[in-house]
Structures are given as structure tokens and as C-alpha cells.
Amino acid sequence: MACVEEKIRLETDGTLSFGNYSVSEKQKLDGFEVNGDLYKVKTHNEVTRLEKNSKLLLESVPGSTVHNFKLTEKVISYDIEGYEDTRLTLELEPKTEYRILIDDVNVGKMKSNLSGKINFSIDLSSRPQNVKIEKIP
């Protein structure tokens, strides 16, 4: 995998790839349109943030590169790479329980807070990881 030089791009399968954790200067792109939705990405080595229609989707501290980000009503999935232990924040549905899988290993359940946020850490120092977050009915 490699960093996304154009900050954000639409892949042929309809997923999004974004972020560049290798740059020290802040980069951002606002108004990237996909199917009538507007995306905004901010990225550099300290933080990567993706918003959809002014709502946070994902933030990583320190920065990361995310490949094939897919968001459906029940599942969020993506591949992520970086260079160290990374804290992820996603804004989902408020007070809803989710199952988190890292490389197809169930690492537990988490309930989003009143604003819909969940937070967890992932070690990206050795290799990219696949993340899947499933809404529990």
C-alpha cells in the first residue's frame, strides 16, 4: 500500500482512499463530491480526518492512510496504514453497540456515546491492518 498523494480519491469499486501520514505540512481538500455528498479531508503526520457533509466520519492520531473506506448502514470497513500505535475516532449512531474486528479477529464490542463516537487504538507499526466495524442489531 502507499500514501494517497491526491489527498482523497474515489476507487473503481466506489470506496474512498485518503490520507498521507508521511507529510509534515498540513494538507486539506474540501468539497470532494461523491453521489451528492461533500467530503473534506485533512491530513499530515499528526492527524488524518475525514468528514462527510460537515460530519466527522473518521479521525486518526497520529495521521494515517486509509484505503477502500466503505460505509453502509450496518458496516464500516477499510484498510489502514501508519507508523505507530494510532488512536481512531469514528462518529456513528448515538448509543448503539458495535463489534470491532481487526484483520477478521473480533477484538470486542463497544457502545457509542451520546454523540455517536467510538474510540479505539490500533498498532500500525508492523503492517497495515484491516478494520471492520459492524452494527449489532
pLDDT of residue 3: 86
Please count the structural domains in the chain: 1
Residue 5 has pLDDT above 90, yes or no: no
Instruction: Give a yes or no: residue 95 inside a domain.
Output: yes
Q: Which three cell numbers stand for residue 110?
A: 463497544
- pTM, rounded to two decimals: 0.94
Q: Which CATH number does the domain housing residue 113 bear?
A: 2.60.220
Instruction: Give a yes or no: residue 3 inside a domain.
Output: no
Instruction: Give a yes or no: residue 91 inside a domain.
Output: yes
Contact predicate 83/31, CB 8 Å: no
Instruction: Give a yes or no: residue 1 inside a domain.
Output: no
Domain that holds residue 119: 8-135
Round the CA-based radius of gyration of the chain to a whole number and report it.
14
Average per-residue pLDDT for the chain: 96
pLDDT of residue 2: 81
Give Dmax (Cα) for the chain.
42
Instruction: Give a yes or no: residue 48 inside a domain.
Output: yes
